[in-house]
C-alpha cells in the first residue's frame, strides 16, 4: 500500500498542484458568489438531480434515467434565461480589475468632502421632514443605461438642488438621483425593482428599486422612507435600515475618497452596525 502511494506522489508534478489549486480557488469563489442568493437553491436542485440520475443509472432505471438526463440538458437553456441577472452580475464581478483605480479616486478631496456634506445634509432634511428620496452612487460598473432613463444634469451637488429634486410634486421626485464621480449626473432615473420574494411587505417601490439596482451593479443606494423618515442603505442586494447621519456621511466619504479597496471594510462595518440597530 505504501508503494502505491509513493507511485502516486512521485507522479504528481508542480503543474498538477497548480492545476488543482486553481480549480479549488475557482470553486471557492463560485460558492462564495452564489451564497445567500437564488443561485444557492439552484445548486441544491441540480445536486439532487445529479444524484438521482446517478442512482437511476446504477439501478438500471432506464426510463427515469432518460427523463432526468433530458431534463438537465434542456434545463441549462432555461437556467440561462431565468438566472440572467445572476449570470450578468457574476460576469461583471469577474470583469472587475483590482488593478484599476476606483471611479472616485481622482476626485479632489475638498470637492468630495463638500459633496458628502451636501448629500448628508439633504438626507437629514428628508428624514426629519419625511420626504421620500432615492440617491444612487455609481462605483466601478457604469450606470449609463440608468442615466439615460432620467434627465441629464451633470451639476455640482448641493443640498438645495437635492431638495428641489425630491420636493413632493416636483417632476423628478419619483425617480432616483444618480451621482457619478462626485457630481449629480442625472435625476428622475428609473431603476429595476428587486425580485427578492423575502423582502418585507412594509418596503415600498422606492426601497425595492434601491435594492434592485444593487443586485445588478456594485452601486450603493441611499433611501429615505416617505412614511417613516427612516434612512436606509442598499449594497450588493442587501438592505440596512435605521442609519444615522454620521453613518451616512462616513459611508459617502469612504466612497468618494477611497483610493484602494482597503477602505471598503469600513463601509461593510457600517452595514453591520445598521443591521444590529435594526435588531
Q: CA torsion 202→205→211→215, rounded to 10°?
A: 130
Indicate the SS3 state at residue 112: helix
Task: Split the chain (279 residues) into runs of 10 and give each run's mean pLDDT.
Answer: 63 82 85 63 77 90 89 74 68 56 61 92 97 94 91 96 95 95 94 88 93 91 96 94 94 75 44 43
Angle at 163 between CA 161 and CA 165, to 5 degrees: 70
Measured over all CA atoms, what is the biggest interatomic distance in the chain, rounded to whole angstroms?
82
Instruction: Kindly report the CATH number that applies to the domain delimited by 109-278.
Output: 3.40.1700.10
Which pLDDT score, from 0 to 100, does residue 8 have?
A: 63
Supply the pLDDT for residue 101. 44
pLDDT value at residue 86? 65
> How much is the pLDDT for 124?
97
Classify residue 57 as exposed, middle or buried by CB count within 10 Å of its CB (0-12, 13-18, 19+): middle
Q: Cα separation of 231 and 241, whole Å?
A: 6
CB neighbourhood size of 193 (10 A): 15
Q: Provide CB contacts within 8 A for 249, sequence distance 6+.
A: 116, 117, 120
Residue 99: what are its φ and ψ, rounded to 5°?
-90, -10
Domain boundaries, the chain: 2-95, 109-278
Are the C-beta atoms of 156 and 183 separated by less than 8 Å?
A: yes
pLDDT given for residue 152 in this prediction: 96
**Which of these, 178, 162, 169, lies nearest to 122 by C-alpha position?**
162
pLDDT of residue 131: 97
pTM over 0.95: no
Q: Do residues 210 and 221 touch, judged by C-beta distance below 8 A?
A: yes
Cβ contacts of 200 within 8 Å, gap of 6 or more:
none
Amino acid at each position: 500500500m505504501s508503494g502505491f502511494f509513493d507511485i502516486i506522489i512521485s507522479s504528481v508534478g508542480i503543474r498538477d498542484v497548480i492545476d488543482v489549486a486553481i480549480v479549488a480557488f475557482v470553486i471557492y469563489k463560485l460558492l462564495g458568489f452564489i451564497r445567500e442568493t437564488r443561485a444557492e437553491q439552484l445548486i441544491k436542485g441540480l445536486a439532487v438531480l445529479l444524484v438521482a440520475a446517478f442512482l437511476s443509472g446504477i439501478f438500471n432505471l432506464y426510463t427515469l434515467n432518460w427523463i432526468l438526463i433530458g431534463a438537465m440538458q434542456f434545463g441549462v437553456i432555461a437556467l440561462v434565461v431565468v438566472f440572467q441577472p445572476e449570470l450578468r452580475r457574476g460576469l461583471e464581478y469577474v470583469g472587475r480589475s483590482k488593478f484599476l483605480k476606483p471611479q472616485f479616486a481622482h476626485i479632489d478631496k475638498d470637492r468630495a468632502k463638500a459633496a458628502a456634506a451636501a448629500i448628508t445634509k439633504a438626507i437629514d432634511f428628508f428624514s426629519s421632514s419625511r420626504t421620500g428620496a432615492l440617491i444612487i452612487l455609481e462605483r466601478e460598473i457604469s450606470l449609463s443605461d440608468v442615466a439615460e432613463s432620467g434627465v441629464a444634469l451633470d451639476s455640482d451637488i448641493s443640498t438645495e438642488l437635492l431638495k428641489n429634486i425630491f420636493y413632493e410634486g416636483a417632476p423628478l421626485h419619483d425617480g432616483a438621483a444618480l451621482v457619478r464621480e462626485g457630481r449629480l449626473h442625472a435625476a428622475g432615473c428609473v431603476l429595476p425593482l428587486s425580485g427578492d420574494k423575502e423582502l418585507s411587505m412594509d418596503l415600498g417601490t422606492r426601497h425595492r428599486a434601491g435594492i434592485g439596482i444593487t443586485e445588478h451593479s456594485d452601486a450603493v443606494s441611499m433611501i429615505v422612507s416617505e412614511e417613516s423618515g427612516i434612512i436606509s442603505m442598499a449594497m450588493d442586494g442587501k438592505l440596512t435600515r435605521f442609519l444615522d447621519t454620521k453613518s451616512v456621511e462616513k459611508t459617502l466619504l469612504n466612497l468618494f475618497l477611497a483610493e484602494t479597496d482597503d477602505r471598503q471594510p469600513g463601509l461593510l462595518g457600517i452595514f453591520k452596525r445598521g443591521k444590529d440597530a435594526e435588531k
